[in-house]
A and B are shown apart, each in its own frame.
Chain A
């Protein structure tokens, strides 16, 4: 074993070019004449190269795993960015987004095109004497057109189950409107063109209770799970309308997690 060890060391020195010149010359002479030694050198060379290749392959395998991981992370990152963008777009552009509800911000009072759906041809503008006693904060110059006559002030607040009761005040000059009150709730009011007709609806999902209280104290309550509640002419206080030419009531509604109260006032004027 000793001689074999020494021979291997010689071969290793020769292959690593670490042999001194005298030994190198005699080793090369021996290589020329000794085919067994020549084979041993070649085998050693191949074995060492095989060792380098195994080290290389281990490194390549690690690199391949990293490459696959980066690839996954890249696609994952792209997916996260896309989903985040979609959520952001949803929050920004969804009309009834949660932000509005949670912040208690006043939603835009929008008058929809419901005019087309509901026959308003007979609507008349009635002088509202009460307006003088109760001037509107947001009153603007009245113009001949119907839409310009609408003056909405909406302050609507919704709270979660902490039962914080919040108010929405509406003052409307006009007779018709669909008002976004809170998340997924629409309040639609069609006033009477006289003291005889009118319909108010609270449309939305999840409404479990609605109470309407007129200013003179009359109450009209729903205690069912209807999603649409209409106040027909027989239900609302006709006498009161006849009395001061304006219409006003307080409406409460409860959703599963919300309670909300808002006041609705409508004044009709010439």
Chain B
């Protein structure tokens, strides 16, 4: 499947099909990252972050591929691992010779989003399902109330609010931890 066909799949909201095909580039990237000090799990996380950035840009119409998709994913992963090494206070000069302008991304924004992702992970299953139905699937609160067996829409809204507050609390807690680690 060509790069353009993969992009078309993402644009057509067939992300799951695209993801399966995007993994064909993974072995090379994984090898590269492991050779540069990443563990298998870290390599996998970084590749998934790179795929997230790529898919988001495609959906927002912010991406013009000037190189092959394989090269683009390599470049993003390299940048991400460089940032990760800096965070770990390790020698990011491993990449000093790499002047890669092929890909770029907002690392600060991604870090915040990843922190929010972690905050969501701390939620219970029911909270997660309710908020996913509302924010990701665009389900109305009336439907959510029915689906999750709330007596009224209002009680469903209250539950949603509580769940969101929990996530916010966790997010702020993670942000404080991160801030403390810096100093």
Residues on B with beta carbons closer than 8 Å to the beta carbon of A59: 15-16, 19
Chain B 66-102 interface mask (CB, 8 Å, partner A; 1/0): 0000000000000000000000000000000000000
> Does A220 have its Cβ within 8 Å of any Cβ on chain B?
no
**Contact partners of B36 in chain A: CB under 8 A:** none
A48 to B132 alpha-carbon distance, docked (Å): 9
Residues of B contacting A52 with CB < 8 Å? 135-136
Stretch from B1-9, B109-117, B142-150 forming part of the interface with A: B109-117
Are B19 and A51 closer than 8 Å at their CB atoms? no
- Residues from chain A with Cβ under 8 Å of B33 in the complex: none
What is the number of contacts between chain A and chain B, taking CB atoms within 8 Å? 86
Residues of A within 8 A of B114 (CB): 50, 53
Chain A residues lying within 8 Å of B26, measured Cβ to Cβ, are: 64, 67
Is the CB of A130 closer than 8 A to any CB of chain B? no
Report the minimum CB–CB distance from A184 to chain B (whole Å). Answer: 47
A54 at interface (Cβ–Cβ under 8 A)? yes
Report Cα–Cα, A46/B120, bound state, in Å: 12
Given the known interface contacts A8-B164, A56-B52, A57-B48, the answer about A49 and B23 at a Cβ–Cβ threshold of 8 Å is no
Task: Say whether B168 contacts A47, CB under 8 Å.
Answer: yes
Give min CB distance, A2 to chain B, whole Å: 10
- B135 x A48 contact (CB < 8 A): yes
* Chain B hits for A4, CB < 8 A: 161
CB distance from B112 to the nearest CB of A (A): 5
Check A1 against B161 for contact (C-beta < 8 Å): yes
Query: Is B44 close to A, CB under 8 A?
Result: yes
Q: Is the CB of A47 within 8 A of B161?
A: no
> Which B residues touch A46, using CB under 8 A?
112-113, 115-116, 171
**B131 contacts A by Cβ under 8 Å:** yes
Q: A43-B171, A46-B112 are in contact. Are A51 and B135 (CB under 8 A)?
A: yes
* Cα–Cα distance between A50 and B112 once the two chains are bound (Å): 8
Q: How large is the interface on B (under 10, 10 to 19, 20 to 34, 35 or more residues)?
A: 20 to 34
| Contact residues of B between 133 and 161, Cβ < 8 Å to A | 135-136, 157-158, 161
Residue A60 interfacial (CB < 8 Å): yes
In the complex, per-residue mask of A175-216: 1 if CB is within 8 Å of any chain B CB, else 0: 000000000000000000000000000000000000000000
Known contacts A60-B51, A67-B20, A50 near B119 by CB under 8 Å? yes
Q: Give the nearest-CB partner of B141 in chain A.
A: A9
CA–CA, A53 to B114, complex, Å?
Answer: 7
Q: How far is the CB of B72 from chain A (nearest CB, A)?
A: 17
Whether a CB of chain A sits under 8 angstroms from the CB of B173 is no
User: Do B20 and A47 have beta carbons less than 8 Å apart?
Assistant: no
Chain B residues contacting A51 (CB-CB under 8 Å) are 116-117, 120, 131-132, 135-136
B20 near A66 with CB under 8 A, answer yes
Footprint of A on B, CB under 8 Å?
Answer: 15-16, 19-20, 22-24, 26, 44, 48, 51-52, 55, 112-121, 131-132, 135-136, 157-158, 161, 164, 167-168, 171
A interface, CB within 8 angstroms of B: 1, 4-5, 8, 43, 46-57, 59-64, 66-67, 70
27 A-B pairs in the complex with CB atoms less than 8 angstroms apart:
A1-B161, A5-B157, A8-B161, A46-B113, A46-B171, A47-B119, A47-B120, A47-B164, A47-B167, A49-B113, A50-B114, A50-B119, A50-B171, A51-B116, A51-B132, A51-B136, A52-B136, A53-B113, A54-B117, A54-B120, A54-B121, A56-B48, A56-B51, A56-B52, A64-B26, A64-B48, A67-B26
